[in-house]
C-alpha cells in the first residue's frame, strides 16, 4: 500500500468486529511508531497504556458512560485500545531520565554537548511553565504528534482505527490508576477489524479542496 492509498483508505471506524485479534507483529510495529514519535526538544512527555485483554478493555470502557456511552462498543469490541497519556509535570526525574538515555544511546560527543542539550530542553520547559503557563497543553501537543503517527501507521498496515476524545478522563484516570503514577489521559485509540455495521466505511472521504487550504508562495 502506498502512502497515497493509505491516507485515502483511512477512516474513523464506527463499529468493530468483536472477538478478532490483530497479529502481534503489527501491534509491535505500532508500538515502535509510538516509541519513536517526535516531540519538542525530545521531551517525550507521554505514557501509553495498551489494553489487549477483555479485562483491560473493560477497565477503559468504564470511562465511556453517560454522554460518552456511544463509544463503549468501540472499546470493548476492538482488538487493542491504547490510552495516550501525558505526565502531570516534566519534573526533574523525567528530565534527567531523558538526558541519561540520550547519553546512553550516544547522542553527545562530549559533556559540553550534553550540557547544551539539557539547558535547551529546560529552557523550553521553563517558557511553558512560567511565561506561557501552558505546560499541560504543550505536552498534549506532543501526544497529538504521536497520535498522528499512530493513525498513519495503522493505515499503512491495513489496521482499522478509531481515535476518541469522547470519554470521561477523570473516570479513566481513576480506573487505570494513572494519577498515582503522575499521569493523565488525553485520547484513546481503538484498533481492530471493522464490522459490517461500520457505516463510515461506505461513505466517501470529504475534505476541503486544495485551493482553499493551501497557499503557495
Write the CB contacts of 61 (distance below 8 Å, at least 6 apart in sequence). 72, 75, 76
H-helix or E-strand spanning residue 47 = strand 46-51
What does the alpha-carbon distance between residue 157 and residue 30 come to, in Å, rounded to a whole number? 9
Catalytic residue among 20, 55, 62, 74: 74
- Please identify which residue in the block is written with the cell numbers 501491534: 27
Q: Looking at 14, 62, 141, 181, which residue is catalytic?
A: 14
> Which neighbouring-strand residues pair with 83?
49, 188
Chain-centre distance of CA 64, in angstroms? 18
Decide if 104 is catalytic: no
> 82: phi > 0 → left, psi -120 to 50 → alpha, else beta; which?
beta
The one catalytic residue in 20, 100, 165, 205 is: 165
How far is it, in rounded angstroms, from Cα 14 to Cα 12? 6
- Reference 125, options 189, 44, 63; nearest CA is 44
Instruction: Please give the positions annotated as active site.
Output: 14, 74, 165
Amino acid at each position: 500500500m502506498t502512502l497515497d492509498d493509505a491516507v485515502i483508505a483511512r477512516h474513523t471506524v464506527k463499529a468493530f468486529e468483536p472477538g478478532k485479534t490483530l497479529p502481534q507483529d503489527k501491534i509491535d510495529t505500532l508500538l515502535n511508531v509510538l516509541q519513536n514519535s517526535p516531540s519538542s526538544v525530545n521531551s517525550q512527555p507521554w505514557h501509553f497504556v495498551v489494553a489487549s485483554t477483555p479485562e483491560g478493555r473493560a477497565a477503559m470502557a468504564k470511562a465511556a458512560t453517560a454522554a460518552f456511552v456511544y463509544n463503549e462498543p468501540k472499546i470493548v469490541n476492538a482488538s487493542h485500545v491504547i490510552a495516550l497519556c501525558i505526565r502531570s509535570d516534566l519534573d526533574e526525574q523525567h528530565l534527567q531520565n531523558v538526558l541519561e538515555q540520550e547519553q546512553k544511546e550516544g547522542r553527545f560527543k562530549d559533556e559540553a554537548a550534553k550540557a547544551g542539550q539539557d539547558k535547551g530542553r529546560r529552557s523550553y520547559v521553563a517558557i511553558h511553565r512560567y511565561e506561557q503557563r501552558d505546560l499541560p497543553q504543550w505536552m498534549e501537543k506532543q501526544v497529538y504528534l504521536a497520535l498522528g503517527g499512530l493513525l498513519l501507521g495503522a493505515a499503512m498496515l491495513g489496521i482499522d482505527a478509531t481515535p476518541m476524545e469522547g470519554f470521561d478522563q477523570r473516570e479513566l484516570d481513576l480506573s487505570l490508576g494513572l494519577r498515582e503514577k503522575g499521569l493523565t489521559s488525553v485520547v484513546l485509540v481503538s484498533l481492530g477489524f471493522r464490522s459490517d455495521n461500520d457505516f463510515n466505511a461506505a461513505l466517501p472521504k470529504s475534505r476541503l479542496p486544495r485551493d482553499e487550504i493551501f497557499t503557495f508562495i
